[in-house]
């Protein structure tokens, strides 16, 4: 049984039986992998902090012909983000990021850009960037990477630009201006449009400072609804984000 390896980030795990866990790994380029980590549900196990949420590591595993899942053999930590991720003011934001990736990213999807996006969010959070900003940045870009982010800079119907406010279409194909509006209910203010456009050319480490608390919530609700609409799932972790609900 040849040993395989992958550079990956842990995005989730659950108890498989009395001794083992199933671990979800976001690899740097080969999609999301599910592997068995033997003995990892014990109080003390040989993998230690390698399996903590959002730990980046080099994972070594092998496959048996009669088993669907690969088995983790060993691993080395590349970067531990435990202190950043487990901080009480951040943990539920990271739960939401992990939930979106596991539920929204298709099987066998090229994950190279998502891997870099998550690394950028983790490093920016470690430097003190607010999570309510980073979660919006992440959600905009996960939609862009999957080719699902609608155009915010112009009206979908009349192509007018630089509108003071726009409304998101029910099927999330785009936005319409006030003149073309016909029952659309999700309002995106000018600063919300500017934020989404701004993310096209800026990194997660830079700060967009003109969104008010209410505007953060509006943009979050629109992005959340779009992800749920296309992914056909509910973002359960979002209920704990008090600042954005």
93 and 73 in a common domain: no
pLDDT of residue 243: 83
131 and 61 in a common domain: no
How many distinct structural domains can be found in the chain? 2
pLDDT of residue 88: 94
Question: What is the pLDDT averaged over residues 93-100?
Answer: 97
Please say which residue of 35, 62, 80 terminates a domain: 80
74 and 22 in a common domain: yes
Q: Is pLDDT larger for residue 30 or for residue 93? A: 93
Q: 27-58: per-residue pLDDT in tens?
A: 988 899 999 999 887 767 788 899 999 999 99
% of the chain residues with pLDDT over 70:
99
pLDDT of residue 138: 98
Please say which residue of 28, 48, 80 terminates a domain: 80
145 and 214 in a common domain: yes
- pLDDT at residue 2 is higher than 60: no
Q: 50-88: per-residue pLDDT in tens?
A: 999 999 999 999 888 777 889 999 999 999 999 999 999
74 and 102 in a common domain: no
The domain in which residue 9 lies consists of 4-80
pLDDT of residue 185: 86
102 and 208 in a common domain: yes
| pLDDT bucket at 227, cuts 50 / 70 / 90 | very high
229 and 115 in a common domain: yes
CATH number at 226 reads: 1.20.1440.120
CATH number at 75 reads: 2.40.50.140
For the chain, give the mean pLDDT.
Answer: 92
- pLDDT at residue 112 is higher than 70: yes
Which range among 1-10, 84-93, 97-106, 130-139 shows the weakest confidence by mean pLDDT? 1-10
pLDDT of residue 40: 86
Q: 191-217: per-residue pLDDT in tens?
A: 999 999 999 999 998 888 788 889 999
pLDDT of residue 1: 55
| pLDDT bucket at 131, cuts 50 / 70 / 90 | very high
> Distance (Å, rounded) from C-alpha 149 to C-alpha 226?
9
CA nearest to 120, candidates 105, 135, 99, 109: 135
pTM here is: 0.93
pLDDT of residue 174: 95
66 and 149 in a common domain: no
Question: What is the pLDDT averaged over residues 120-148?
Answer: 96
Please say which residue of 57, 80, 103 terminates a domain: 80
């Amino acid at each position: 049984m040849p040993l395989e390896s992958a550079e990956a980030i842990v995005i989730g795990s659950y108890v498989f039986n009395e001794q083992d866990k199933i671990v979800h790994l976001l690899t740097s380029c080969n999609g999301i992998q599910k592997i068995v980590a033997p003995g990892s549900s014990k109080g003390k196990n040989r993998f230690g902090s390698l399996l903590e949420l959002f730990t980046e590591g080099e994972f070594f595993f092998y496959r048996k012909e009669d088993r669907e899942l690969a088995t983790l053999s060993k691993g080395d930590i590349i970067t531990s983000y435990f202190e950043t991720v487990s901080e009480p003011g951040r943990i539920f934001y990271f739960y939401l990021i992990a939930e979106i990736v596991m539920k929204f990213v298709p099987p066998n999807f090229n994950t190279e850009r998502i891997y870099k996006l998550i690394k950028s969010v983790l490093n920016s959070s470690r430097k003190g960037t607010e999570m309510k900003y980073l979660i919006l940045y992440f959600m905009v870009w996960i939609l862009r990477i999957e080719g699902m982010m609608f155009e915010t800079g112009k009206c979908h119907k009349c192509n007018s630009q630089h509108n003071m406010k726009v409304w998101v279409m029910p099927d999330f194909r785009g936005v319409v201006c006030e003149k073309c509006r016909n029952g659309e209910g999700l309002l995106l203010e000018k600063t919300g449009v500017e934020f989404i456009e701004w993310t096209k050319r800026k990194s997660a480490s830079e700060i967009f400072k003109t969104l008010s608390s209410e505007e953060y919530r509006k943009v979050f609700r629109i992005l959340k609804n779009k992800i749920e609409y296309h992914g056909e799932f509910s973002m359960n972790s979002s209920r704990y984000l008090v600042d954005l609900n």
